[in-house]
A and B are shown apart, each in its own frame.
Chain A
Amino acid sequence: MRRRAALLATVALVAPLAACASAEAGPPTLTWYINPDSGGQARIAQQCTEESGGDYRIETALLPRDAPGQREQLVRRLAANDASIDIMSLDPPYIPEFANAGFLAPIPQDVQQAVTQDVAEGAIAGATFRDELVTVPFWANTQLLWYRKSVAEAAGLDMTQPVTWDQLVEAAAGQGKTVAVQGVRAESLMVWVNALVESAGGHVLEDSEADEGEDVTPDLDSDAGRRAAEVVRTLADADVGGPQLANANEDINASMFENDDSAGFMVNWPFVWPRANAAVEAGTLDPSVVEDYGWALYPQVDEGQESRPPYGGINLGVGAFSEHVDLAFEAVQCIVDPARQAEYFVTDGNPPSSLVAFDDPEVQEAFPMADVIRESLQNAAPRPQTQFYNEVSSSVQRTWHPPRGVGPDTSPREADELIAAVLSGEALL
């Protein structure tokens, strides 16, 4: 009796293991850690699995919603040498940190060549660390200046010419409308500040490739940094940022811009276009609203000086501890195929890093502003490419928030001091 029970117990224990083993048979499985989107990456995974002809199978695993959360999860896993991470969707500012820590498998020369052909300058710069391509550009994002044609016209702004922040604030204040910007204490605030500083001809860091934290030299307390702070303060003081300025993120901005009563201008990623169109289709937004949408290159800080719009997007990295590095690079090349990037743009609203993908007729039809996006991508400035990016960004967020409290004589200096103190281990964050 006892024996039989033991036998049963053994069977019960072993049976699931056997089931596992049989599932392992077949093509190797590549796990692709993706950021949340509208389902496009999962579809691409499926397509590439089919195209591989049984060489590999791509499975997706979902990362948290915001970029810092995605970084946290990936870093924790990679620090523990997690072999299950074959491919990962990475936000560009964190790439230096991953590369420096040895979390990314080196890209073979032939792959490097193939994946940089006809790719936007900004995207290649964002994928590079210490002159080495360490990730593969997938989609590349940039912010445009969105405006309501009716408001710009009423304010007498000529939108065929580049406009400055001061002009926007003045126009919005005169019309009783808003200039929607990301004032929330989060990564999006850093995106805004970096774009302002770069547009004013400066940089957040003087030398971002320093190995040691104490060698990083912040450079916000410069003419460009102070000018950027002036823009933030002017906008806050003019009361055109909307009542929720200190907590406004991209989504809040997008809904502000859909609201006829207050919408005037906005800087935001192109997702606002499919978002508004989807709302029209769903019947929650009047079609006349979308017809009133206009777009232009990111505003200038000083008249005549070309703006440097924000650069974002997603690059693909191959995990250094993956057991199928070669297959992973094969899969990555399949994923970033320009035709697939174009399709992904149309379905998910995320612009391609491949310049040729913009010529796709479907892209041109779905995104009438595709050419402006392409131009913006060529001018875009990445955020500081340092392995200490998280500290730099958090320090800026702490000292440049809330927008109403930003001052040209205080915030840039405080940011510099905090970055230096934190990176030399003399302050908490």
Chain B
Amino acid sequence: MSSVAGAPPALAEDDRPRGRSARSGAPRRSDRARQEARLGMLLCAPAVLVLVAVVGYPILQAVWDSLFSYRLTNPDAREFNGLANYALILTDPIWWQALGVTVLITAITVAIELVLGFGLALVMNHALKTLRPALRTAILIPYAIITVVSAFAFLYMFDLTSGFVNSWLPFVADGKDWFATFGSAVSVIILSEIWKTTPFISLLLLSGLAQVPGDLAEAAKVDGATAWQRLWRVTIPNMKAAIMVALLFRTLDAFRIFDNIFIMTNGAAGTESVAFLAYRQTIQRLEIGVGSAVSVLLTILVALIALLFVKGFKVNLAASTRGGR
């Protein structure tokens, strides 16, 4: 995901002027332009083919499997049952509970990460040139850590036998078991998510910040705007596109939360998410049919979120980093 975040700005900047002139300058494309376009398609083709093979094929397979009653250890009894799996899932309170937990975790983590990430991006942006590389590295370290590893770190931190949190926090009883009740368990899960992925969002916001022209802020300053006014009236409106892209990526990511829950509670205390539900049906129960249906529903939800952002909030992915221009 970080590579996606890093790559588009450079690419987009390179080909935009060319693309525009080709389109607006010449109504009928020249041979050369056509050849270039063909070469472009050919160069893309291997990547597209690989993508279709590794993403498209499994999705179609999952959609197909979701229409069957199919248990991996009993393949002979596999039979077509139409949309029965979907009906089962959508009428089961467990699905709605998992969906509620997922939405709750997504909303809280993304909201807090946006504020924190923006603060960190401002710090990185305003830091002295000599400090900047070190600061960026320091802020990015949590993101470089594998989620399972960070989940274990938080588990051991809050664990009653190995943890130190209870003895550090004066208002918490020494015998508090954080993973015993929903409220405290989900708080630790959310905390670990925030710690781990705030750097990602701050990196995206930093690239947005860098695009805000300095002269605008300077002009506002000369006109007597306070720092707070400059932030709200100049900086943020000029990087709206970057903010929306950061929000979109993080929301999609947060919605698929699995690792932290798997390691810390294994779904106990009502902390199951939608992705965890899919895991339980497919991998634990080996019910390929029902599990695929849960996965397909999760995919549809993720696609809906993307659609909502792109259409609803008019996020232009290609223009994300040129918000101010």
Q: Does B15 reach chain A (CB closer than 8 Å)?
A: no
Q: Does B283 reach chain A (CB closer than 8 Å)?
A: yes
Q: Does A175 reach chain B (CB closer than 8 Å)?
A: no
Asked if residues A247 and B290 are in contact (CB atoms below 8 Å), the reply is no
Instruction: Give chain A nearest CB distance to B287 CB in angstroms.
Output: 8
Q: Does A356 reach chain B (CB closer than 8 Å)?
A: no
Q: Does B35 reach chain A (CB closer than 8 Å)?
A: no
Given A402-B180, A428-B89, A429-B280, verify A247-B72 contact (CB < 8 Å): no
Closest to B268 in A: A185
Complex CA distance for A100 and B75, rounded to whole angstroms:
11
Asked if residues B73 and A247 are in contact (CB atoms below 8 Å), the reply is no
Q: Does A72 reach chain B (CB closer than 8 Å)?
A: yes
Q: Does B69 reach chain A (CB closer than 8 Å)?
A: yes
**B145-162, CB under 8 A of A: which get 1 and which 0?**
000000000000000110
Q: Does A394 reach chain B (CB closer than 8 Å)?
A: yes
Q: Does B285 reach chain A (CB closer than 8 Å)?
A: yes
Asked if residues B281 and A79 are in contact (CB atoms below 8 Å), the reply is no
Asked if residues A68 and B74 are in contact (CB atoms below 8 Å), the reply is no
**Number of A residues whose C-beta is below 8 Å from B?**
30
| Chain A residues whose C-beta falls within 8 Å of the C-beta of B89 in the assembled complex | 428
A residues 70-109 near B (Cβ < 8 Å) are: 72, 75-76, 79, 97, 100-101, 103
Asked if residues B180 and A425 are in contact (CB atoms below 8 Å), the reply is no
Complex CA distance for A72 and B268, rounded to whole angstroms:
19
Q: Does B175 reach chain A (CB closer than 8 Å)?
A: yes
Asked if residues A428 and B180 are in contact (CB atoms below 8 Å), the reply is no
Complex CA distance for A47 and B74, rounded to whole angstroms:
37
A residues 380-429 near B (Cβ < 8 Å) are: 387, 390-391, 394, 401-402, 425-429
Complex CA distance for A314 and B92, rounded to whole angstroms:
36
> Among the listed A100, A252, A391, A401, which residue makes an inter-chain contact with B268, where contact means beta carbons less than 8 Å apart?
A401
> Among the listed A72, A186, A427, which residue makes an inter-chain contact with B94, where contact means beta carbons less than 8 Å apart?
A427
Closest to B267 in A: A185
| Chain A residues whose C-beta falls within 8 Å of the C-beta of B95 in the assembled complex | 428
Instruction: Give chain B nearest CB distance to A162 CB in angstroms.
Output: 31
Q: Does A150 reach chain B (CB closer than 8 Å)?
A: no
Complex CA distance for A426 and B89, rounded to whole angstroms:
9
Asked if residues B160 and A244 are in contact (CB atoms below 8 Å), the reply is yes
Q: Does A304 reach chain B (CB closer than 8 Å)?
A: no
Q: Does A255 reach chain B (CB closer than 8 Å)?
A: yes
| Chain A residues whose C-beta falls within 8 Å of the C-beta of B94 in the assembled complex | 427-429
A residues 90-144 near B (Cβ < 8 Å) are: 97, 100-101, 103
| Chain A residues whose C-beta falls within 8 Å of the C-beta of B179 in the assembled complex | 246-247
Complex CA distance for A394 and B284, rounded to whole angstroms:
10
Asked if residues A75 and B73 are in contact (CB atoms below 8 Å), the reply is yes
Closest to B69 in A: A425
Asked if residues A428 and B74 are in contact (CB atoms below 8 Å), the reply is no
Q: Does B176 reach chain A (CB closer than 8 Å)?
A: yes
Most chain B CB inside 10 Å of its own CB: which residue of A103, A394, A427, A429: A429
Q: Does A156 reach chain B (CB closer than 8 Å)?
A: no
Complex CA distance for A383 and B294, rounded to whole angstroms:
30
> Among the listed B175, B269, B285, which residue makes an inter-chain contact with A429, where contact means beta carbons less than 8 Å apart?
B285
| Chain A residues whose C-beta falls within 8 Å of the C-beta of B75 in the assembled complex | 79
Asked if residues B73 and A387 are in contact (CB atoms below 8 Å), the reply is yes
Asked if residues B177 and A246 are in contact (CB atoms below 8 Å), the reply is yes
Q: Does A361 reach chain B (CB closer than 8 Å)?
A: no
Asked if residues A244 and B281 are in contact (CB atoms below 8 Å), the reply is no
Asked if residues A75 and B268 are in contact (CB atoms below 8 Å), the reply is no
Asked if residues A243 and B177 are in contact (CB atoms below 8 Å), the reply is yes
| Chain A residues whose C-beta falls within 8 Å of the C-beta of B285 in the assembled complex | 390-391, 394, 429
| Chain A residues whose C-beta falls within 8 Å of the C-beta of B266 in the assembled complex | 185-186
Complex CA distance for A429 and B73, rounded to whole angstroms:
17
Q: Does B277 reach chain A (CB closer than 8 Å)?
A: yes
Complex CA distance for A383 and B20, rounded to whole angstroms:
70
Closest to A97 in B: B73
Q: Does B88 reach chain A (CB closer than 8 Å)?
A: yes
| Chain B residues whose C-beta falls within 8 Å of the C-beta of A76 in the assembled complex | 72, 283
Complex CA distance for A425 and B88, rounded to whole angstroms:
8
Q: Does B298 reach chain A (CB closer than 8 Å)?
A: no
Closest to A80 in B: B72
| Chain A residues whose C-beta falls within 8 Å of the C-beta of B283 in the assembled complex | 72, 76
Asked if residues B161 and A428 are in contact (CB atoms below 8 Å), the reply is no
A residues 178-210 near B (Cβ < 8 Å) are: 184-186
Asked if residues B281 and A428 are in contact (CB atoms below 8 Å), the reply is yes
| Chain A residues whose C-beta falls within 8 Å of the C-beta of B286 in the assembled complex | 75, 79, 390
Complex CA distance for A103 and B286, rounded to whole angstroms:
15
Complex CA distance for A394 and B268, rounded to whole angstroms:
11
Most chain A CB inside 10 Å of its own CB: which residue of B95, B266, B280: B266
> Among the listed B88, B177, B268, which residue makes an inter-chain contact with A244, where contact means beta carbons less than 8 Å apart?
B177
B residues 28-81 near A (Cβ < 8 Å) are: 69, 72-75
Given A185-B266, A428-B290, verify A101-B177 contact (CB < 8 Å): no
> Among the listed A97, A255, A401, which residue makes an inter-chain contact with B161, where contact means beta carbons less than 8 Å apart?
A255
| Chain B residues whose C-beta falls within 8 Å of the C-beta of A429 in the assembled complex | 94, 280-281, 284-285
Asked if residues B88 and A246 are in contact (CB atoms below 8 Å), the reply is no
B residues touching A (Cβ–Cβ < 8 Å)? 69, 72-75, 88-89, 92, 94-95, 160-161, 175-177, 179-180, 266-269, 277, 280-281, 283-286, 290, 294
11 sample A-B contacts, Cβ–Cβ < 8 Å, listed by A number: A68-B284, A72-B284, A75-B73, A100-B73, A184-B268, A243-B160, A243-B177, A244-B180, A246-B269, A390-B284, A428-B95
Extra contacts, 12 of them, besides A185-B266, A402-B269 (Cβ < 8 A), are A76-B72, A103-B73, A243-B176, A244-B177, A255-B161, A390-B285, A391-B285, A394-B284, A401-B268, A425-B88, A425-B290, A429-B284
Lowest 5 A-B CB distances belong to which pairs?
Answer: A243-B175, A101-B73, A185-B268, A246-B180, A244-B160
